[in-house]
Chains A and B, each alone.
Chain A
Amino acid sequence: GNSVTQMEGPVTLSEEAFLTINCTYTATGYPSLFWYVQYPGEGLQLLLKATKADDKGSNKGFEATYRKETTSFHLEKGSVQVSDSAVYFCALSSTGNQFYFGTGTSLTVIP
């Protein structure tokens, strides 16, 4: 079946620190992989995506590389800001008609 396992939080970092949030998946077929971000009281917003192996998704300084050999899609950012504080969700879609989400990782960045 399809599932996503995400690094548990919460994660607390100082401003300008390096961020990694781990995500691994199991899937049938050839999934696409996504990172969504959720700010307090809001819905989810797409952060980045990758649709095939070795693709790198990037946006707003965040990056993630689709690694088929390790079934991973880890999220990274070289220097976090206070405004990056949010909950981050890893997700996969194997046929486009259903998305599977991880449980989310809460990030707090302190000045």
Chain B
Amino acid sequence: DTGVSQDPRHKITKRGQNVTFRCDPISEHNRLYWYRQTLGQGPEFLTYFQNEAQLEKSRLLSDRFSAERPKGSFSTLEIQRTEQGDSAMYLCASSLGQGMLISGNTIYFGEGSWLTVV
């Protein structure tokens, strides 16, 4: 399977604990995105990498959230001191960017990582 893969698929954690999600994008894709999706809503943008550089961060990404893509390949999203409001599905996506002003790039999603904070 050469699609976007995410791990773990499901995580249940106690409030206050830290969690980390991993995303492996499609191998030749230089762009990587993190989105959050809650029940009944569309995905909300969190952050975006071009290679190893984090180029955009949403205001949704509080200081408890940090994302890295150290070698321009896989990425991790860490949530510190989790809160019940963090319960959601965290989606990773990747694309082959062909320029900052070209809007036709398709992004390909992984199957998501479900987080439940109890």
Contacts and interface: CB of A to CB of B under 8 A. Distances in A.
Residues of B in contact with A, size category: 20 to 34
Residues of A in contact with B, size category: 20 to 34
User: B45, B50, B98 — which one has the most chain A CB atoms within 10 A of its CB?
Assistant: B45
Contacts of B50: 97
Contact of B91 (A30, A31, A44, A98): A44
A81 to B, nearest CB: 23
A6 B41 CA distance: 11
Contact of B103 (A4, A6, A94): A94
Nearest to A92: B103
Contacts, number: 78
Contacts of B33: 98-99
Contact of A43 (B42, B44, B45, B112): B112
A88 to B, nearest CB: 10
A103 B91 CA distance: 15
Given A98-B45, A103-B42, 11 more contacts: A4-B42, A32-B105, A34-B106, A42-B112, A49-B106, A93-B107, A94-B103, A96-B105, A97-B31, A97-B50, A97-B100
28 contacts: A31-B103, A32-B105, A36-B109, A41-B111, A44-B91, A44-B93, A46-B108, A49-B104, A49-B106, A51-B103, A51-B104, A95-B102, A96-B95, A96-B97, A96-B98, A96-B103, A96-B105, A97-B31, A97-B48, A97-B50, A97-B97, A97-B100, A98-B45, A98-B48, A101-B44, A103-B40, A103-B41, A104-B42
Interface in A85-111: 89, 91, 93-104
